[in-house]
Structure 1
Amino acid sequence: MHALIVVSHPNPGSLTHAIAAQAAEGVRTSSREHSAEIVDLAAERFDPSFSTDDIAVHLRQAAPSPHILAEQARIDRADALVLVYPVYWWSMPALLKGWIDRVFSNGWAYDEGPDIVPAKKLNRLNVHLVAVGGADLRTYARHGYFGAMRTQIDHGIFGYCGARVVTSELFVPSEPPDTTHHLESAHTLGRTLFAARDREAA
């Protein structure tokens, strides 16, 4: 089994990157048959700008560029997609949102159009979301921020494409400050990512 871990943070020394690395390590230590690939969108300089070319792809007037096809192929090779990102303004960073905007295109992630029967095309894909927040849980609960994030991301994006969001985690600061628990939770997530399938195969 193969996990594709996509991380969106400009600082490779950030907690977000450390969490992604621990998740990958957890996958690799769970079984010699499991592998993990980390995609660092900032380091790869992915262009999140949705251009007129992307509009043409959405309208099914043009094929995706080779770069977008390569991103889609990465996902096609994966048995699980893990997104690790900091919360910016109660949502994901623009870089990650732009990656989704461009890569999860009409004709690949879903089908829609005037003469096309709407269809979800990512039904086989399991998704795991790890958001790293800067506010405490009471703030998220009081204003309904985490519920809003789950509505727009879990349901609005992945539900629309048919992908199954298996876990949707929110890591928030602790008092006193300590990141050990987050790193241990990320490792556990990776270690158990394919546990159900391993049991089925046993």
Structure 2
Amino acid sequence: MHALIVTAHPRPPSLTHAVARRLADGVEDAGHTAELADLAREGFDPRFTERDIARFQQRAPAEADVRAEQTRIDRADALALVYPVYWWSMPGLLKGWIDRVFSQGWAYEEREGRDERRLGHLAVHLLAIGGADMRTYARHGYFGAMRTQIDHGIFEYCGARVITSELLVPAAGEDARRHLDTAFDLGRTLFRSGPQSGVADAA
């Protein structure tokens, strides 16, 4: 089976990229294949322009860069997003990728007051990397808000199944290597794990 792993971080030496690579290592260690999509390095344009509105209204076809991303997703049995938490959500580059790629007519269809969800075949795994401790997320309800916005509001709306929703945060007395172990273990079980969600600290 094949996993598409998407990252959105401008610095290749970042923890985000290291986690994505370890996730891919785990997938391959289990005998599957993985493709890493580095949106920053590839120069994906996240701007939602008038041309994207025309596509949303189904007055124009998808542009070549959008079709290429949709093809990558269509090839995958699982989609994993690995990203840093910016302002209690995903980076603008990744959100723009979703805005443009998960378009009407491909990810979903609105017709005659009914929504057709088209990504029911896709398993989704989310690994968000936070800089604040878990107490901060819990005190303000940030992680719950992120799951409502991203897991439910984006992927479940399109019919995709969110299998994993992890928040990797700093813990006292531990270093970031434990996040790499978490990513590798998840990669090894990516295609045989049931729904799971939560926080690395709570596991």
Q: Would you say same fold, with TM above 0.5?
A: yes
Name the SS for the 1:19 alignment partner: helix
2:27 maps to a residue whose letter is V
Counterpart-to-counterpart distance in 2, 1:77 and 1:65: 19
TM superposition shift of 1:173: 1.0
Unaligned runs of 5+ in 1: 198-202
TM superposition shift of 1:194: 1.2
1:57 maps to a residue whose letter is R
1:142 aligned to 2:142? no
Name the SS for the 1:127 alignment partner: strand
Counterpart-to-counterpart distance in 2, 1:194 and 1:126: 9
1:171 aligned to 2:168? yes
Question: Aligned ranges for residues 1-202 of structure 1 at < 5 Å?
Answer: 1-31=1-31, 34-113=32-111, 115=112, 117-195=114-192
Pair 172,196 (structure 1): closer, same or farther in 2 beyond 3 Å: closer
Counterpart-to-counterpart distance in 2, 1:185 and 1:87: 17
Counterpart-to-counterpart distance in 1, 2:45 and 2:6: 15
Unaligned runs of 5+ in 2: 195-203
TM-score, normalised to structure 2's length? 0.93
> Could you list the per-position Cα deviations for residues 136-186 of structure 1 after superposition, in whole angstroms to 9, with x for gaps in the alignment?
001000000000000000000001100000000000012235011100000
Match of 1:200 in 2: none
Question: How many percent of aligned residue pairs carry the same amino acid?
Answer: 64
TM superposition shift of 1:116: 6.8
1:137 maps to a residue whose letter is M
> Could you list the per-position Cα deviations for residues 95-152 of structure 1 after superposition, in whole angstroms to 9, with x for gaps in the alignment?
0000000000000000014x47420000000000000000000100000000000000
1:130 maps to a residue whose letter is L
Counterpart-to-counterpart distance in 2, 1:122 and 1:97: 18
Question: Which range is displaced more, 175-184 or 151-160?
Answer: 175-184
TM superposition shift of 1:21: 0.1
TM superposition shift of 1:93: 0.2
TM-score, normalised to structure 1's length? 0.93
TM superposition shift of 1:195: 2.4
Counterpart-to-counterpart distance in 1, 2:94 and 2:180: 21
Pair 15,196 (structure 1): closer, same or farther in 2 beyond 3 Å: closer
> Could you list the per-position Cα deviations for residues 7-50 of structure 1 after superposition, in whole angstroms to 9, with x for gaps in the alignment?
1100000000000000000000111xx10000000000110000
